[in-house]
Amino acid sequence: MECDVLIVGGGPAGLSLARSLADSSLRVMVVERQPETAIAVPGYDGREIALTHRSIATLKALGAWHLLPPDEISPLNEARVLNGASPFALSFETTGHGGGPLSLMVPNHRIREALYHSVRDQPNLTLLTGSGVSAVKTDARSVRVMLEDGRSISARLLVAADSRFSRVRELLGIDAEVNRLGRSMMVCRVTHEEDHHGVATEWFDHHQTVAMLPLNGRRSSAVLTLPAEAMKRVAALDDAALGDELTRRYQGRLGRMQVDAPAHVYPLATTYARHFAAPRAALIGDAAVGMHPVTAHGFNLGLQSQATLARLVREAAGSGQDIAAASLLRRYEMTHRLASRPLYAATNFLVRLYTDERPGARLARDATLRVGSRLPLARRAITAMLMQR
């Protein structure tokens, strides 16, 4: 088989790149390891994605936004960061940014479903499902990919969009920083007695982090982070006991909580590829940058990476240039590194600062919040980043 752009991974990053290349002269193929039904009707995975305004605009341009069920889009008006029992809170709200919510929350499986339906009938796209990639060979003119089921595909450009533990990245010989954090994150939709007023809270308490992300009605996505061993005990609780446990761990701030949808647990690891490109190949989405979920930027950055690559590839195709020229791939790498590295470093710094249990670190956290709460410029800069259009 032959195509121009071969994308490995039919997750949100891979499918959005495929869609960004619609209406071009390029023949696009997506190879996805799971069967087609798994990406056509993705199961609920507990993740609620906080979308920046820029991501919302991208999803609209891709024709995926209007495919989302409107009642599953929840406004997030304000975000507060709390430290242990400290009364100081760092707050991000939209005042001065033209009003409207800071972000909109959408379930990850709905985004995946909408992206699948946006590409399903795309004339220049072939979707190959049910087989992963087993080998990759590149030369100056093309790249050849062998699938686990024995088929092979040659392409002009190969794009890895196959998750933070990307097999294609490995087959291309690109190394990555991998930090296994020894902690797990539980995400669980809950109903509660009190109103959240659209406020998201990130509470860094001792030995646990609890975030509450507001969903429509008196519902939230409870996000609990614990050391992996401690999480095993919590994950084994039945729904009634888990509701009580979350109520207790959140100190009843939203009243009594009840589990509304099955909890999902993710072992936490961050990854950052040493390069985002190799001859005739590029990495996008989590395959390039696997962010810690605490600052809610993984998908947003993934969407940005595919938009950057798609723009360069479309420009090259439109002017008859090589869509995998070394200079094009270098520009992609540089642009995405500039967009992602500061966020990746700042997020990891925040995670280290707020999960260090030594007394000195606790004081440093409190000091950061006090200073932060007096630095309207810093607060405004972060808010502007969330609101970027």
* C-beta nearest to ligand FAD: residue: 11
Interaction between residue 10 and ligand FAD (CB under 6 A) = yes
- Residue 286: which of 169, 126, 133, 117 has the closest Cα? 169
- Residue with the two structure tokens 């972060």: 382
Judged by CB under 6 A, which of 125, 181, 187, 257 binds ligand FAD? 187
Interaction between residue 277 and ligand FAD (CB under 6 A) = no
Question: In the bound complex, what is the minimum distance in angstroms from residue 170's beta carbon to ligand FAD?
Answer: 9
Handedness of CA 162, 167, 170, 176 (dihedral sign): positive
Interaction between residue 215 and ligand FAD (CB under 6 A) = no
Interaction between residue 298 and ligand FAD (CB under 6 A) = yes
- Residue 388: which of 300, 296, 265, 273 has the closest Cα? 300
β-partners of residue 171 are none
Interaction between residue 42 and ligand FAD (CB under 6 A) = no
Q: Which C-beta is closer to ligand FAD: that of 26 or that of 79?
A: 79
First to last CA, the chain: 39
3-state secondary structure of 87: coil
Residue 157 · residue 282 · CB < 8 Å: yes
The site string for ligand FAD over 53-92 (x = CB under 6 A, - otherwise) reads ----------------------------------------
Judged by CB under 6 A, which of 3, 21, 28, 32 binds ligand FAD? 32
Interaction between residue 226 and ligand FAD (CB under 6 A) = no
Q: What is d(CA 32, CA 283) in angstroms, rounded to the nearest whole number?
A: 15
Interaction between residue 8 and ligand FAD (CB under 6 A) = yes
Judged by CB under 6 A, which of 282, 302, 307, 313 binds ligand FAD? 302
Q: What is the footprint of ligand FAD within residues 88-147 (CB under 6 A)?
A: 108, 132-133
Torsion angle of C-alpha atoms 314, 315, 320, 322, degrees rounded to 10? -80
Question: In the bound complex, what is the minimum distance in angstroms from residue 126's beta carbon to ligand FAD?
Answer: 14
- Residue with the two structure tokens 């956290």: 365
User: Which amino acid, one-letter code, is at 265?
Assistant: V
For residue 41, how far is the Cα from the chain centroid? 19
β-partners of residue 212 are 201, 222
Q: Which C-beta is closer to ligand FAD: that of 287 or that of 362?
A: 287
Binding region for ligand FAD (CB under 6 A): 8-14, 31-34, 47, 49-50, 108, 132-133, 161-163, 167, 185, 187, 266, 285-286, 293, 296-300, 302
